[in-house]
């Protein structure tokens, strides 16, 4: 959520920053917010003047009653005062709700580092590893997985519809192995605290991270209890300290969690979504950091390196892409995508998205810290990144490590978890 006060004082700068996203609806929303805010402040002046009067007269009534004196004329006067308060309070409530509603629909301002333009302006900032050469004998992971008997998309679809993959045998075990490996890695190598959060969360939490209200149709909702299935562990992790004021000396906070992720992906079915590339349910290990504002730029670089480290450990060639303003997610100030090369389907697959939110989520979720003992609380900065999302990682692993005989070699770090060095057909 944008800072209303900053918007008021630096309107031109905010407008210019948001314009880089190329979303034409933004200016109208800004106009509306500013107009409502002016109204709101005028109404506050009125209602508070009346409330001050009510407080003062109430005190006099109390004094008179205590002294056993007649207070009826004052009480009569107060009826009118109360009527004014009620009227202005109603208007204030309405205005505040309208401002909040509009503010929640405004995206974050892009970081100055972010290139102008749309997806075509995304910039590859570095690469690692030699992409495995495509060859005619290499199969895409959906064929390979089916032949090895470890991926059964048909039966997944029978149970739940398309986009609900089902893994069997070593395929199932591979999910568990990757989750355990990644969690252990980040805890041991990068000092993140492991968290196992709830998988259903309140609407308020979805709003805090920016998934609601605008993207309600992307998420699964359980109406009987008004809970939402997490689309990413970012939601519970970022909201872990919602409403709290953290002592500055306890920052940064680094959290890592595995959760399944549930996404409706409405309207996404099609060519680009075969196999494990875009599914409704998948597993992911997610990193979340709460940082002091002055440390957050560096934290994004570090967080991205932490996600990259997993690709390296698994021996997957990847590239790091800095997203342009027009391709940025709604709440993101700056994002690096990690894409691994999949030689079977001959594509770069996005396995991680590492983002800096600045104070955008912190304002929505009321995440604050105290810079020094006794100092005023301030909003902190939030970051998150996948490290990694499993399905595309699995796709790339299968495609990269497949042999001509149709078996798949297991990368060394996963062997102890998988209790196997090779996956063979049955």
Partner RNA sequence: GGAGAGGUGGCCGAGUGGCCUAAGGCGGCAUCCUGCUAAGGUGCUGGGGGCCAAAAGCCCCUCGUGGGUUCGAAUCCCACCCUCUCCGCCA
Positions marked catalytic: 263, 278, 350, 353, 392
Q: Is 376 among the residues that bind RNA (CB under 7 A)?
A: yes
Q: 309: burial class by Cβ within 10 Å (0-12, 13-18, 19+)? A: middle
Query: Burial level of 64, CB count in 10 A (0-12/13-18/19+)?
Result: middle
Interaction of residue 245 with RNA, rule CB under 7 A: yes
Closer of 38 and 268 to RNA (Cβ):
38
Q: Which of residues 74-93 bind RNA (CB under 7 A)?
A: 75, 78-79, 81-82, 93
Q: Which is nearer to RNA, 86 or 421 (CB)?
A: 86
Residue placing its CB nearer to RNA in the complex, 59 or 158: 59
Q: Is 70 in the site for RNA (CB under 7 A)?
A: no
- Among positions 5, 188, 271, 404, the unique one binding RNA when judged by CB under 7 A: 5
Min. distance of Cβ 397 from RNA in angstroms? 33
Parallel/antiparallel/unpaired status of strands 378-379 and 368-370: antiparallel
Distance CA 192, CA 255 (A): 5
The nearest distance, CB 202 to RNA, in angstroms, is 9
Rounded to the nearest whole angstrom, what is the least distance from the CB of residue 103 to RNA in the complex? 12
Nearer to RNA, 88 or 282 (CB): 88
Residue closer to RNA, measured from CB, 157 or 245: 245
Query: Are 116 and 324 in contact, with CB atoms under 8 Å apart?
Result: yes
Would you give the binding string for RNA spanning residues 15-54, x where CB under 7 A is met?
--------------------------x--xx-xxx-xx-x
- For residue 231, the minimal CB distance to RNA (Å) is 22
Instruction: Provide, rounded to whole angstroms, the least separation between the CB of residue 224 and RNA.
Output: 10
Site residues for RNA, 110-139, by CB under 7 A, read none
Minimal distance, residue 358 CB to RNA, in Å: 17
Judged by beta carbon, residue 112 or residue 373, the one nearer RNA is: 373
CB 379 within 8 A of CB 356: no
Helices (H), 106-148: 141-148
State the angle between helix axes of 170-190 and 390-401 in degrees (0 to 180), rounded to the nearest 10: 110
By rule CB under 7 A, what string of x and - marks binding of each residue 162-191 to RNA? ------------------------------
The 92-111 contact track toward RNA, x by CB under 7 A, reads: -x------------------
Give the C-alpha separation, 291 to 359, whole Å.
10
Q: Which residue, among 276, 288, 172, 272, has the nearest Cα to 230 in the 3D structure?
A: 288
Task: Between 55 and 217, name the residue whose CB sits nearer to RNA.
Answer: 55
CB atoms within 10 A of CB 351: 28
- Write the DSSP symbol of residue 350: E
> If binding is defined by CB under 7 A, does position 424 make contact with RNA?
no
Exposed/middle/buried for residue 89 (C-beta within 10 Å: 0-12, 13-18, 19+): middle
- Please report how many Cα atoms fall inside a 13 Å half-sphere around the Cα of residue 98, on the Cβ side: 18
Q: Which helix (H) or strand (E) holds 93?
A: helix 72-104
Q: Are 208 and 364 in contact (CB under 8 A)?
A: yes
**What is the size of the binding site for RNA (CB under 7 A)?**
30
Applying CB under 7 A, which residues contact RNA?
5, 41, 44-45, 47-49, 51-52, 54-59, 61-62, 65-66, 75, 78-79, 81-82, 93, 245, 368, 374, 376-377
């Amino acid at each position: 959520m944008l800072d209303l006060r900053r918007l008021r004082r630096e309107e031109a700068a905010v407008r210019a920053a948001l314009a880089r996203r190329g979303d034409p609806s933004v200016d109208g929303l800004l106009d509306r917010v500013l107009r409502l805010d002016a109204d709101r402040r005028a109404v506050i002046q009125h209602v508070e003047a009346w409330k001050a009067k009510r407080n003062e007269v109430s005190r006099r009534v109390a004094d008179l009653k205590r002294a056993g004196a007649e207070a009826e004329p004052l009480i009569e006067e107060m009826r009118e005062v109360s009527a004014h308060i009620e009227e202005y309070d109603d208007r204030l409530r309405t205005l505040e709700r309208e401002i909040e509603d509009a503010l929640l629909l405004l995206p974050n301002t892009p970081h100055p580092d972010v290139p102008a333009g749309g997806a075509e302006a995304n910039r590859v900032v570095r690469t690692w590893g030699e992409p495995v050469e495509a060859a005619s004998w290499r199969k895409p992971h959906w064929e390979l997985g089916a032949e090895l008997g470890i991926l059964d998309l048909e039966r997944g679809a029978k149970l739940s519809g398309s986009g609900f993959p089902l893994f069997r045998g070593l395929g199932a075990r591979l999910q568990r192995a990757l989750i355990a490996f990644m969690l252990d890695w980040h805890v041991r190598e990068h000092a993140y605290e492991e968290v196992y959060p709830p998988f259903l969360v309140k609407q308020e939490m979805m709003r805090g991270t920016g998934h609601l209200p605008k993207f309600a149709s992307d998420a699964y909702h359980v109406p009987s209890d008004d809970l939402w299935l997490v689309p990413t562990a970012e939601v519970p992790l970022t909201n872990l300290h919602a409403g709290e004021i953290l002592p500055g000396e306890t920052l940064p906070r680094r959290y890592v969690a595995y959760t399944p992720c549930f996404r409706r992906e409405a309207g996404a079915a099609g060519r680009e979504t075969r196999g494990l590339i875009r599914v409704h349910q998948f597993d992911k290990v997610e990193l979340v950091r709460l940082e002091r504002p002055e440390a957050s730029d560096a934290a994004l670089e570090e967080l991205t390196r932490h996600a990259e480290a997993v690709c390296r450990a698994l021996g997957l060639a990847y590239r790091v892409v800095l997203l342009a303003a027009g391709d940025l997610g709604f709440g993101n100030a700056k994002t690096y995508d990690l894409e691994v090369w999949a030689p079977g389907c001959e594509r770069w697959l996005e396995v991680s998205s590492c983002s800096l939110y600045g104070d955008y989520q912190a304002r929505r979720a009321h995440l604050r810290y105290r810079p020094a003992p006794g100092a005023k609380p301030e909003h902190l900065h939030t970051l998150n990144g996948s490290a990694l999302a499993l399905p595309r990682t699995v796709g790339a692993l299968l495609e990269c490590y497949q042999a001509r005989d149709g078996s798949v070699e297991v990368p060394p770090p996963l062997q102890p978890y998988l209790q196997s060095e090779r996956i063979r057909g049955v």
